[in-house]
């Protein structure tokens, strides 16, 4: 079952940016013996309309502060933020109506049923009863058979899906998912992403924070990395992955090697090292060295290849390099 979209949530001029922050800053003042903390330092960030946008960063980088400012839970210190074209200061109600937040914490009242929770949430957003889609949302999330069960009887995965449902009751064009698959099993993670990708295909902009970097690499078309309150980088995923241009060959010789051949120890054609099991690891840049050159180097070294596998840099490599560089 698909969820309908309503035109009343979309302004006459649809914005190019689903979210736009300029010079956004947040300083938590010293209190209760704790020193002043700068959480955001002049963040400039644009989330393109219709994208699945990854917001990544280590713990304490400022991701949650950024999301909570958009949600109206934290008051910014400076800068501006717009959601679906609405300034969060000048048009707070319109901005709030344009975004749904799925928090990391499973904050669900255990004494309400899923149907009651969605109806209550719809009431908080002043959604008329005739336009509420409680049954439709529960069915789309695979919770129709749990509509009248107490929330305390739901599994962790069901509660996670119910949080997504709560964020969708007012039909927002922007959905923020804060660590939505933390602690859930592989099958549920796949189901949740299938559903989220379906929402995105129907025009909902998705903002995702996750510690599963392979998840962000597979799902997000644009990624921003934030560290120590600053945006380190924000660009299309394929461009980000190209920042570390390195391939690794794992060569299995016909017989395990006891020592690295001298010809492979010499500079040029990639960096070689002998692995404990007698295989050879060769790292090289495809931009500077062709694979044919690497294979010729192995031949000249007298290595007879029994098997060959390749590895390429992934988002984790990029993430670690960029966050390490900015922390230095």
Which helix (H) or strand (E) segment is 254 a member of? none
Are 110 and 151 contacting, i.e. CB atoms less than 8 angstroms apart? yes
Q: 3-state DSSP call for residue 293?
A: helix
- The whole-number pLDDT of residue 51 equals 96
Domain boundary residue, one of 241, 268, 302: 241
| Containing structural domain, residue 276 | 247-312
- The whole-number pLDDT of residue 52 equals 97
What CATH number did the domain enclosing 39 receive?
3.40.50.300
- Exposed e or buried b for every residue in 84-111, given b needs 16+ CB within 10 A? bbbebeebeebbbbbbbbbbbeeebeee
| Whether residue 141 is found in the same domain as residue 270 | no
| Residue corresponding to tokens 């295989």 | 279
- The whole-number pLDDT of residue 299 equals 85
| Residue corresponding to tokens 């007298």 | 302
| Whether residue 185 is found in the same domain as residue 270 | no
| Whether residue 194 is found in the same domain as residue 261 | no
pLDDT 10s per residue in the chain (328 long)? 344 444 334 445 788 899 999 999 999 998 877 889 999 999 999 999 999 999 998 888 899 999 999 999 999 999 999 999 999 999 999 999 999 999 888 888 889 999 999 999 999 999 999 999 999 999 988 899 999 999 999 988 888 889 999 999 999 999 999 988 776 778 778 888 888 899 999 999 999 998 777 888 889 999 998 988 999 889 998 887 776 666 778 899 998 998 888 888 766 556 888 899 999 988 777 767 777 888 888 888 888 899 988 765 556 666 666 666 555 5
Domain boundary residue, one of 204, 223, 241: 241
Residues 68 and 153: their CA atoms lie apart, in Å, by 29
Establish if 183 belongs to a structural domain.
Answer: yes
- The whole-number pLDDT of residue 191 equals 82
A 10 A CB-CB count for 242 gives: 13
Establish if 321 belongs to a structural domain.
Answer: no
Residues 157 and 225: their CA atoms lie apart, in Å, by 27
Establish if 317 belongs to a structural domain.
Answer: no
Establish if 159 belongs to a structural domain.
Answer: yes
Q: In what order do the strands lie in the sheet with 78-83?
A: 37-48, 17-28, 78-83, 86-87
3-state helix, strand, coil in the chain (%, to 5): 35, 25, 40
Q: Which two tokens stand for residue 271?
A: 């960096």
| Whether residue 195 is found in the same domain as residue 48 | yes
Residues 257 and 237: their CA atoms lie apart, in Å, by 39
| Whether residue 212 is found in the same domain as residue 70 | yes
Q: In what order do the strands lie in the sheet with 271-274?
A: 271-274, 280-284, 247-253, 305-312
């Amino acid at each position: 079952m698909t969820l309908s979209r309503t035109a009343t949530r979309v302004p006459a001029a649809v914005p190019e940016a689903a979210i736009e922050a300029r010079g956004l800053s947040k300083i938590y003042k010293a209190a209760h013996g704790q020193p002043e903390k700068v959480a955001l330092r002049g963040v400039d960030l644009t989330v393109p309309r219709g994208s699945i946008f990854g917001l990544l960063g280590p713990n304490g980088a400022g991701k949650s502060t950024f999301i909570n400012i958009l949600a109206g839970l934290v008051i910014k210190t400076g800068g501006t933020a717009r959601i679906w074209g609405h300034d969060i200061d000048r048009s707070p109600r319109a901005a709030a109506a344009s975004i749904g937040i799925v928090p990391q914490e499973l904050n669900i009242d255990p004494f309400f049923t899923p149907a009651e929770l969605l109806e209550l949430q719809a009431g908080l957003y002043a959604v008329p009863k005739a336009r509420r889609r409680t049954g439709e949302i529960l069915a789309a999330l695979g919770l129709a058979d749990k509509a009248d069960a107490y929330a305390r009887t739901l599994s962790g995965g069901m509660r996670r899906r119910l949080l997504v449902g709560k964020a969708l009751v007012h039909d927002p064009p922007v959905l923020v998912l804060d660590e939505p698959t933390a602690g859930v099993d592989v099958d549920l993670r796949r189901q949740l992403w299938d559903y989220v990708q379906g929402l995105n295909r129907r025009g909902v902009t998705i903002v995702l924070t996750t510690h599963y970097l392979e998840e962000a690499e597979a799902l997000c078309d644009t990624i921003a990395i934030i560290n120590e309150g600053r945006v380190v980088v924000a660009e299309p995923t394929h461009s980000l992955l190209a920042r570390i241009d390195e391939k690794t060959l794992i060569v299995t010789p016909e017989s395990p090697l006891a020592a690295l051949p001298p010809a492979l120890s010499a500079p040029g054609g990639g960096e070689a090292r002998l692995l404990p099991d007698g295989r050879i690891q060769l790292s090289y840049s495809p931009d500077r060295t062709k694979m044919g050159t690497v294979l010729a180097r192995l031949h000249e070294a007298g290595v007879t290849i029994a098997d060959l596998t390749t590895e390429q840099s992934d988002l984790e490599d990029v993430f670690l390099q960029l966050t390490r560089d900015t922390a230095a």
